[in-house]
């Protein structure tokens, strides 16, 4: 039985049953060229793997709905909620730098949009729901392994304060699905304000169907950027907002050590959300050239490449918008990207160091620390968390920190610079630590943690999935008794390789 997370008074006034969800379905009102209408493929004998009450609240669904005997039927696609209008969205995209003229939702089906009582609309999309007209050679299914990874990581990113799609639930089935090996099927339900992506515009640009670009841009602006509606330069301002959101997202990824793994333009959200989780990874030993995707043999999407790839992808979007935005205008916007990224990114790194004032040389201080971390192969997440305990007293040698570094003399020199910087703004250690603990997470979704949850789930034990979900909702909190989840993978554990099939 799923325990309800909301008081009965709130449930009765503000929550809906599955039959009462308020579907809106504005994307379904667009012309048929934007999507293909179809029902999901039935999933044999579905069962609930995990349910996320926090995400359910976004669509006014009470947590006890997950206890319904037919809940898995609804969120496997076997039964459609009243008011839904299932469809697969059309898009194209640049994959590893090469344009693919038609992609689209090959295994995901948008049930529709739910408008909650706050006036927000949330796409409800089931991923792994069967073949669509865009499946190409795919089977239209997702596997339990990849569904658990996306489910946990989307909520982990939300817990970190990084824009992301959300995950409502996972439904599994024992039906076999073949990837590198035989696995079992699963369907993940994800929520987002929109699933429109850069590639949604590219497909019509390369087809020279420019009127559809305007239709889609007008739709996105009216729904998600209403403050631009009616302005003479609304398309320029729209592109400017996407540039800013993308630059901010890249800075946030870098600040927490997150690597996406497949930054194709069809995986880039027009709203600046972290989108389409596949072979992602949180960096453990600091290595700017970290590659989380085993399929990325050239390192196109390595960790340190992500900011530049963000700009490359924005350039592809700007190209697709040339019927609406003149090239000289889009070029000027793209030229601002680096400044936006570095300004915001430096501010984030300054916060990670507990600095409350901006000064010249702050970025050099950060880079010097990162260089030492790389030389000593230190854990990115844990080192920044430990740095909160830095003692700025003149006679302190900070053994706990210093002894993590191979070159202790280099650390001592850096610590002297850091101490001077802290004293220059009259920093108080206890207050600084409190600030730092709010921006330097103790817990991230390390690959070995996800793999442990997956291995247990494959034996029909879903307790670790739920435990990680709870843990990652509060990544900055200490959470007594859970300290082992902050540790890197054991040295004897084989390296987990994640590929695009994930």
Buried b (16+ CB within 10 A) or exposed e, 364-380: ebbebbbebbeebebbb
CB 45 within 8 A of CB 140: no
Distance CA 145, CA 208 (A): 39
Closest-CA residue to 129 (of 164, 90, 165, 175): 175
- Please give the structure tokens belonging to residue 74: 């609804």
End-to-end CA distance of the chain: 30
How far from 313 is each of 26, 66, 233, 270, 301, CA to CA, in Å?
27, 39, 22, 11, 12
Structure tokens at 169: 């639930």
CA distances from 414 to 72, 347, 377 (A): 55, 20, 17
The answer to whether residue 371 is catalytic is no
Sequence-separated contacts (24+) of 25-28 with Cβ below 8 Å: 25/83, 25/84, 25/85, 25/112, 25/113, 26/113, 26/121, 26/219, 26/223, 27/87, 27/89, 27/110, 27/113, 27/123, 27/219, 28/85, 28/87, 28/112
Give per-residue burial for 30-52: e unless 16+ CB within 10 Å, then b. eeeebbbeeebbebeebbbbbbb
Options 60, 123, 266, 379, the catalytic residue: 266
Using DSSP, state whether 124 is helix, strand or coil. Answer: strand
Element (H, E) at 143: strand 142-143
Residue 402, token pair as written in the block? 């210093």
HSE-CB of 394 using CA atoms within 13 angstroms: 1
The kind and range of the H/E element at 171 are strand 166-178
C-alpha 428, offset from chain centre: 34
Catalytic annotation, residues: 266
């Amino acid at each position: 039985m799923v325990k309800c997370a909301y008081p009965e008074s709130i449930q009765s006034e503000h929550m809906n049953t599955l039959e009462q969800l308020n579907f809106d379905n504005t994307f379904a009102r667009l012309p048929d060229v934007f999507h293909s209408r179809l029902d999901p493929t039935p999933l044999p004998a579905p069962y609930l793997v995990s349910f996320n009450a926090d995400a359910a609240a976004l669509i006014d669904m009470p947590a006890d709905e997950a206890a319904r005997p037919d809940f898995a039927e609804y969120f496997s696609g076997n039964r459609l909620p009243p008011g839904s209008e299932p469809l697969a969205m059309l898009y194209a995209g640049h994959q590893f730098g090469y344009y693919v003229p038609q992609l689209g939702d090959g295994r995901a089906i948008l049930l529709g949009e739910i408008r909650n009582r706050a006036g927000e609309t949330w796409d409800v999309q089931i991923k792994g729901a069967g073949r669509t007209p865009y499946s190409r050679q795919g089977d239209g299914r997702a596997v339990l392994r990849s569904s658990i990874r996306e489910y946990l990581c989307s909520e982990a990113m939300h817990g970190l304060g990084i824009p992301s799609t959300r995950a409502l639930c996972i439904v599994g089935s024992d039906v076999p699905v073949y990837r590198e090996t035989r696995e079992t099927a699963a369907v993940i339900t994800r929520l987002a304000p929109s699933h429109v992506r850069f590639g949604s515009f590219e497909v019509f640009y390369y087809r020279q169907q420019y009127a559809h670009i305007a239709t889609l841009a007008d739709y996105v602006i009216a729904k998600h950027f209403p403050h631009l509606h009616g302005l003479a330069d609304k398309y320029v301002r729209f592109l400017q907002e996407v540039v800013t959101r993308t630059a901010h997202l890249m800075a946030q990824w870098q600040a927490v050590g997150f690597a996406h793994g497949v930054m194709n333009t069809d995986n880039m959200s027009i709203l600046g959300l972290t989108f389409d989780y596949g072979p992602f990874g949180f960096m453990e030993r600091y290595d700017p050239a970290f590659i989380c995707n085993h399929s990325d043999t050239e390192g196109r999407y390595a960790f340190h490449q992500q900011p530049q790839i963000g700009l490359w992808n924005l350039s592809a979007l700007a190209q697709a918008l040339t019927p609406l935005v003149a090239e000289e205008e889009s070029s000027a916007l793209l030229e601002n990207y680096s400044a936006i990224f570095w300004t915001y990114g430096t501010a984030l790194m300054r916060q990670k160091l507990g600095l409350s004032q901006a000064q010249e040389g702050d970025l050099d201080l950060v880079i010097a620390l990162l260089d030492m971390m790389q030389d000593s192969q230190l854990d990115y997440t844990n080192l920044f968390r430990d740095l909160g305990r830095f003692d700025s007293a003149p006679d302190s040698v900070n053994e706990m920190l210093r002894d993590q570094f191979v070159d202790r003399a280099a650390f001592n020199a850096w610590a002297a610079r850091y101490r001077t910087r802290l004293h220059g703004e009259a920093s108080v250690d206890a207050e600084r630590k409190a600030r730092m603990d709010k921006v330097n997470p103790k817990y991230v979704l390390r690959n070995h943690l996800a793999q442990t949850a997956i291995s247990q789930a494959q034996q029909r034990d879903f307790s670790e999935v739920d435990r990680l979900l709870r843990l990652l909702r509060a990544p900055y909190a200490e959470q007594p008794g859970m300290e082992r989840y902050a540790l890197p993978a054991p040295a004897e554990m084989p390296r987990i390789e994640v590929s695009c099939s994930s």
